[in-house]
Amino acid sequence: MSVSPSRPRDFLASAAPGTRVVVRYRINGGLTDALGELLGCDGTECTVRTRREDTVITLASVVAAKAVPPPPPRRAPSVGPGPTGPQKSQDAAGLEKS
């Protein structure tokens, strides 16, 4: 395992594009986080692709940053009781199981 640089800006500058990161940075009124794929970083700003948008963050506003693991796989939708009661399952041939 590699040791990340001690300063968040150094970490962002050295991280490869495509690394999943979380970046905490200052905004008016406090702090916020950007979680997503690092698209790139230059001497003054970095860009993180979040679920909603590409977020451009000035490095001067960054207070913390680190690599994070990939997101967990999405869970399958749960199958609950239908409007008339519990649903019966079917086998591979489409026959009802009790």
Each residue's pLDDT tens digit, 17-72: 999 999 999 999 999 999 999 999 998 999 999 999 999 999 999 999 999 999 88
pLDDT for 50: 97
Contact 48, 23 (CB under 8 A): yes
pTM here?
0.70
* Fold category of 8-67 in CATH: SH3 type barrels. (2.30.30)
**Every domain of the chain and the residues it spans:** 8-67
Contact 89, 97 (CB under 8 A): yes
